Amino acid sequence: MKKINDLVSEYLQEIKGFDTRVIIRSRAVAKRMESKTPEHARHAWHGKRVGAVAARVAGCLQEDVCTAFLAGLNHDAGKLFVPAYLLRDDTDFDDKKYQLIQLHAVAGFHLFKDICLDLALIIGRVHNTDDNGYGVSLSDYLSDASQSQINAINFNSRLVSICDYIDSNRTRPPRLGKDVFSDGSYVSLEKQLFKKYPQNQRIVVAALSVYSELF
Ligand SMILES: [Fe+2]
Ligand SMILES: [Fe+2]
């Protein structure tokens, strides 16, 4: 098993052609997240695991590894603006607290939008891949985008969303994966993912296999 930090350095070394401000800001976010993360929080809030899996899957599928990695690494960057007690797995949730947590999607978008709009949109859409969740809408920011640009953003936000779902499910309490026991019976992670992402079974299969290979 590779150490997360080794994987992160490996991918950071591969990154070329990105505005260096993106790399500098990503490092700053990771550092701030590291100090904010409560010791017992098992989901990597700073997104290292999600970034590593996303990059490896993107590589398998012949897509842009660097964008996938940076999007995974920063997908929860907006949680820097969420009060720390809300990020703890033992917090009791109500609708108001959940709404506050949901703001992290838009906050993450704003953290990167001035230096890399596409990356910011991917981050802002991880929880809104089909425009039925929460976060940003592409139509609000891309009025004259090409279809290939839209496809790349959608591919990466789905990829990160799938990797995030897998990591959350594997590392955090069942409360966070409410539909695990929705009808009282066990639903495998693969089946949950196929249901949630019916158009992206290729990514689901690749992400599950990379995740178990790495962790
Ligand atoms: Fe998130
Ligand atoms: Fe996450």
CA 48 to centroid of ligand 1, rounded, Å: 13
Contact (CB, 8 A) for 134 and 109 = no
CA 104 to centroid of ligand 1, rounded, Å: 7
CA 75 to centroid of ligand 1, rounded, Å: 6
Could you read off the pLDDT of 42-77 as tens digits, one per residue? 667 778 899 999 999 999 998 899 999 999 999 999
Considering every ligand atom, which ligand is closest to the CA of 78? 1
CA 72 to centroid of ligand 2, rounded, Å: 8
CA 69 to centroid of ligand 1, rounded, Å: 15
User: Which of these, 82, 77, 92, 85, lies nearest to 33 by C-alpha position?
Assistant: 77
Within 13 Å of residue 11, how many CA atoms lie on the same side as its CB? 31
Cα-based distances in Å from 115 to 23, 25, 196: 10, 9, 31
Could you read off the pLDDT of 84-129 as tens digits, one per residue? 888 877 778 789 989 999 999 999 999 999 999 999 999 999 999 9
Radius of gyration of the chain (CA): 16
The reported pLDDT for the residue numbered 128 is: 95
Instruction: Reply yes or no on whether the pLDDT at 183 is more than 90.
Output: no
CA 190 to centroid of ligand 1, rounded, Å: 20
Q: In percent, how much of the chain has pLDDT > 70? A: 89
The reported pLDDT for the residue numbered 203 is: 96
For the chain, list the domains and their CATH numbers.
4-214 (1.10.3210.10)
Q: Could you tell me which residue, 36 or 111, shows the higher pLDDT?
A: 111
Considering every ligand atom, which ligand is closest to the CA of 124? 1
The mean pLDDT value for 20-28 works out to 94
Spell out which residues have Cβ within 5 A of ligand 1, the ion: 76
Considering every ligand atom, which ligand is closest to the CA of 80? 1
